[in-house]
Chains A and B, each alone.
Chain A
Amino acid sequence: MMIPDISTVLEVVLIAVKVVVVTMILFGLPLPLTWLERKVAGHIQVRLGPWRVGPHGLLQPFADMIKLLMKEDIVPDRADKFLFTIAPLLAMVPAFAVFVAIPFGENIMLPVINKEVSLYIADMNVGILYILAISGLGIYGIILGGWASNSKYSLIGGLRSSAQMISYEISISFAAIGVVMLSNSLSLVEIVKSQGGSLLHWNFFYLPVGPVWCAIFIIGSLAEINRIPFDLPEDEGTLGAGFHTEYSGMKFALFMLAEYVAMVSVSVLTVILFFGGWNSPLPVPLPIPPIFWFVAKVVFFIYFFMWVRFTLPRYRYDQLMTIGWKILIPVSLVTILITGFMRI
């Protein structure tokens, strides 16, 4: 029997630890994010937001969590039981799987075992393709959840979601292609490294095409994570609650979890693709760890998505299709042409 040497064992252990840590963080993230979202909503509407549970309502997410855990888990009478149960998982697992390929910072030295550790689980050479493919799978949870509920609101929500996906997914992929053309690599680590240096090396400031790619990517991402102005699958005004009308308790919580994790992953992707990842915007003499810049940018974009949510109204169904097919796709085709000429 072959005995693996110590460094291989250590490598495996490290990967397992990283996976556990990232999963734990992702499971924990919706707690502060729901609080933040409600606070942002409150203050934008000149209210206070959560206030009574704990100081400044900080314990509100825990109260919500306890409520969701204790609620009755209802399965509608004539629902497809198997699909109804598995749909929240199908929505959640891809949202988490995206984070396998995402780099969070430069390699760091672990002090005790004296080993250099990379702040990503896997540096895939096709990382961006992997992320686009996996995050596209999340839509299955929504469509199947809508279909399995045996409710007209859920069904319409699921159908809208599928129609929405074919309208925006193409332009998101084109935006990713644009970034790949600018950075000459499909690996996210290489994409971030190519934007090193100063602010002006960021893909966003690659004029004139950088801002266009960024705008296309953010608009498409808003549609992908089902947030206002493109939250048609869960349009409260017309569909009850859309695809998760019939869900309650923990199954509903899993959908919410998937949605928040998707929002984080989209913020992370925007930062990595266009805003230089963990590179600092300006040369600072202080020894600030790169992960600080990364987290700061991601937090800004999470706030930005919440900010947009409470600024814009919801687009109509046909307007979303028009934006996707008649504007975003032609614009991204033209921008690919311009980017190609600029990169010759």
Chain B
Amino acid sequence: MSDKKGGIDILDLIKKVLFTDFVKGLRITLGYNVSKSITHRYPDEEKWIPYRRFRGVHTLNRDEHGRELCVACELCVKACPTSCITVVPMEDDTGRGIADRVAKIWKVNLVRCLYCGYCEDACPTRAVRLGREYELACADFKCTVRNREELLLPQPVPESIEGGLVAKAKFERSLSGIKVTADLSATKKRAW
């Protein structure tokens, strides 16, 4: 409170008497009070579409002819630090994969996985990629292991969308669980 120089700064005193700093603070908070909130209305109205670099649930990809890229080399299994990937190879020359060797079983345990992306780095054919799905909550342990068939399904967010967007979304409840479906035609950039 006391001035070290000995005298009292008149200007400072007037400022204190008129509560100028207090009024400034009140003006700032009032500005925030009437400004728009930056909270995402997830899951009711909005959903966050992550960037391409996002590392979510794994996907298995196909080439342009619809053949599976995975050759079941098991390099992803070797690279995985948590041993959450299981691959069982088999012979198949019917043209299911790009080579004669395809995966009979390719499954990943999402509870063990730490989404480091080493599997995608190790993959010689770019078959396994980490996708943009991030809603992993479920009611039992069945959904914690994803099989080859599920991972081969097309992605809800296509690769052509760059991401970093907030999309309009619909929140659906049903007996099989809850789901938030994003409407990719109505997106906007993040508010900040």
Contacts and interface: CB of A to CB of B under 8 A. Distances in A.
Physical interaction between A and B: yes
Interface of A: 40, 42-48, 215, 307-308, 310-312, 322, 326
B30 A307 contact: yes
Interface of B: 1, 19, 22, 25-26, 28-30, 32-35, 37-39
A43 B26 contact: no
28 contacts: A40-B33, A42-B37, A43-B32, A43-B33, A43-B34, A43-B37, A44-B32, A44-B33, A45-B32, A46-B32, A46-B35, A46-B39, A47-B38, A48-B37, A48-B39, A215-B19, A307-B26, A307-B33, A308-B26, A310-B29, A311-B22, A311-B25, A311-B28, A311-B29, A312-B22, A312-B25, A322-B1, A326-B1
A45 B35 CA distance: 10
Contacts of A308: 26
Contacts of B34: 43
B150 to A, nearest CB: 31
Nearest to A42: B37
A46 B26 contact: no
B35 A311 contact: no
A53 to B, nearest CB: 13
Contacts of B26: 307-308, 311
Q: Is the interface of A mostly helix, strand, loop or mixed?
A: helix
A46 to B, nearest CB: 5
Q: What are the 8 closest A-B residue pairs judged by CB atoms, nearest first? A: A311-B29, A48-B39, A311-B25, A43-B33, A44-B33, A48-B37, A44-B29, A44-B32
A221 to B, nearest CB: 15
Given A312-B22, A312-B25, A47 B37 contact: yes
A246 B33 CA distance: 34
A46 B22 CA distance: 20
A47 B41 CA distance: 11
A45 B33 CA distance: 7
A310 B22 CA distance: 12
Contacts of A46: 32, 35, 37-39
Contacts of A312: 22, 25
Contacts of B30: 307
